[in-house]
Amino acid sequence: MDDADRQVLRRCRVQLVSELQVANLWDALLTCELFQPDMIEDIQRAGSGSRRDQARQLVTDLETRGSRALPLFISCLEDTGQHSLASLLRTSSQTARRDPEAIRHLHLKPVAVRPEELRAVKQDPSKPAPGRLPPAVLGPEKLYPQVLRPGVPRPVDIGAGGFSEIRAHERQRGNPDLAYILNADPCGYCLIINNVNFCHKSGLSTRTGSHVDCEKLQRRFRLLHFAVEVESDLTAQRMLRALEELAQRDHGTLDCCVVVILSHGRQASHLQFPGAVYGTDGSAVSVEKIVNLFNGTRCPSLGGKPKLFFIQACGGEKKDQGFEVVSASREDRVPGGNPEPDARPFQEPPGGYDQPDAVSSLPTPSDIFVSYSTFPGFVSWRDTKSGSWYIETLDDVLEQWAPSDDLQSLLLRVANAVSEKGTYKQIPGCFNFLRKKLFFKTS
C-alpha cells in the first residue's frame, strides 16, 4: 500500500472503528481475495472479539494487503451497503491524490446517506440478520474451501513484517514469559514534569510550545490507563523531591510506572545513562540519578515491573546537518515554523564525573527503559506552536499503533518519522533494560 492510501486509512481510522459493520464484510473480503481464511479468523479473534476490536484489527491489517487494498476495500463496503464509509474513504483518497498535504488537515465528518440511496444487500436466509447476533467465528473450510485443497500453496503475507508480525505480537501480548502483563486499572502512575519558565540568571529561555506537549501526553497516557499527574516549573531540588515521592509510593497493586520530563537539557558525564535535565533555577539533575531513584533497591514495590522514562530535552549543543538523501520531507519547510533547541552548553564537573547516587556500586538496571528525544550530545528541536518534534510524533504513533505494536516497535516508528523532519536533523534513541516486550493497555 502506498503512502497516500496508508494516510487515508489512518486519518479515517477512528470513524472506521466506530462504524464499520465487520460481520457483513467477511464473504466480500474473501471473494475479492483481499484476505485469506486464516487471516479472517485471526481478525475475528482480535482482542475480546468485539465488533470494535475486529474493526480495529481489520483496518490495521489492510495496510499489509498490497497496492489495491484500499480500492478493493471501498468496493467491499459498497457491496455490503456501507455507503457512508465508502464515500468517506473515496473522497479522502481523491483529495490525497490531488494534494498529498491536504489529508493531514482533513476534518472528517459522517456522510449522511438517505435510506433510498442504499442498495439492498442480499441476505443468506441461513444467516442471522446483521446486528441481531454476534458474528460467529467460522472455520476456514466454511469460509473459503477452494484454497484449502491439498497441494495448493498458501499466499505469502504482503509488506515488511506484515500480517505475520501482527499475529506474532498478539501471541506474545498475553504470554507472561514473553511480555509484561498490564492488567491493573490504572496500570500505574505517570508523572509529567513540564518546565517552561526559567529564572533569568539561569540563562535558559522560556520553552514556548511545551504546554502543547504536556496536554498531548496527559490525554494519551490517560487513554493508556495511567493515573496522570503533572508538575510544572520545578527547580532541580523540587524535581528530585517529586520523583523521590513517586518512587516511595506503594506500587504493589500496579503494573508499571512512567516518568516524562519536558525541559532544557545538556550533555553530562555518566556511568549508565547519559544526559541531564534542568530545573527552572538553572541547576541540572542527571538522568542517571533520576532513573536510579526507581531501581530495585530504592523502589522495591516496582521490582520486576517496567519503569519507563521519556526525556524531551537536548543532549548537547551539536546541530546535526544530516546527509543528503534522494528526497526530504516537505512538511517541516512550511513558512512560519519556528523550531527552537532545548539546549544548554556542557560543562565538565569538578572531578570529571557526576557523583554516583547513594552507594558506590549500583545493582544492574532491570525493567528500565529510557527514551531520549535526541542522540547524546545533540540538539532536540521544539516548535513554538506545535510542540517538540519528538513528543508530537510519539503521540501520533501511540494513537495509531499502540493497539498492535510493542514499545520498542513503537519507538522505531518514532525514530524513523522524526529523522525525516526539518533542515537540521534529529534522531531519538533509547537505553533498553527491559526483560520482556511491553504492550500498552488500550482497551
CA distances from 180 to 173, 184, 272 (A): 8, 12, 24
272: which residues sit within 8 A by CB, 6+ positions away?
A: 288, 291, 292, 362, 365, 431
Q: Which of 74, 68, 148 is nearest to 111 (CA)?
A: 74
Query: In 162-218, at which residue ranges do the beta strands (DSSP E only) sit?
Result: 179-180, 188-194
Q: Which of 72-86, 95-109, 340-354 has the lowest mean pLDDT?
A: 340-354
Percent above pLDDT 70 for the chain: 67
Give, to the nearest 10 degrees, the angle between helix 3-11 and helix 83-98.
130
Q: Which of 187, 299, 314, 430 is catalytic?
A: 314
Q: What is the pTM of this model?
A: 0.55
Q: Which of 148-162, 323-337, 385-399 has the lowest mean pLDDT?
A: 148-162
Q: Which of 68-77, 130-139, 278-287 has the lowest mean pLDDT?
A: 130-139
pLDDT band per the 50, 70, 90 thresholds, residue 168: low
Q: Which of 88-97, 310-319, 327-336 has the lowest mean pLDDT?
A: 327-336
Pick from 68-82, 231-245, 366-380 the range whose average pLDDT is largest.
231-245
Model confidence at 137: pLDDT above 60: no
Q: Which of 187, 264, 299, 430 is catalytic?
A: 264
Sorted by where each begins, the domain ranges of the chain are 1-108, 179-321+335-438
Pick from 71-75, 247-251, 264-268 the range whose average pLDDT is largest.
247-251
CATH topology of domain 1-108: Death Domain, Fas (1.10.533)
State the burial class of residue 206 (Cβ atoms within 10 Å of its Cβ: 0-12, 13-18, 19+). Answer: exposed
155: which residues sit within 8 A by CB, 6+ positions away?
A: 36
Q: Which of 57, 47, 45 is nearest to 20 (CA)?
A: 57
The answer to whether residue 314 is catalytic is yes
* Residues paired with 232 in a beta bridge: 194
pLDDT band per the 50, 70, 90 thresholds, residue 152: very low
Q: What is the tens place of the pLDDT at every residue in 294-308?
A: 988 889 999 999 999
Q: Which of 49, 25, 52 is nearest to 137 (CA)?
A: 49
Q: What is the tens place of the pLDDT at every residue in 377-429?
A: 555 565 767 778 889 889 999 999 999 999 999 999 998 888 776 556 577 88
Architecture (CATH level 2) of domain 179-321+335-438: 3-Layer(aba) Sandwich (3.40)
Q: What is the tens place of the pLDDT at every residue in 96-136?
A: 777 665 544 444 444 444 444 444 444 454 555 554 445 44
pLDDT band per the 50, 70, 90 thresholds, residue 322: very low
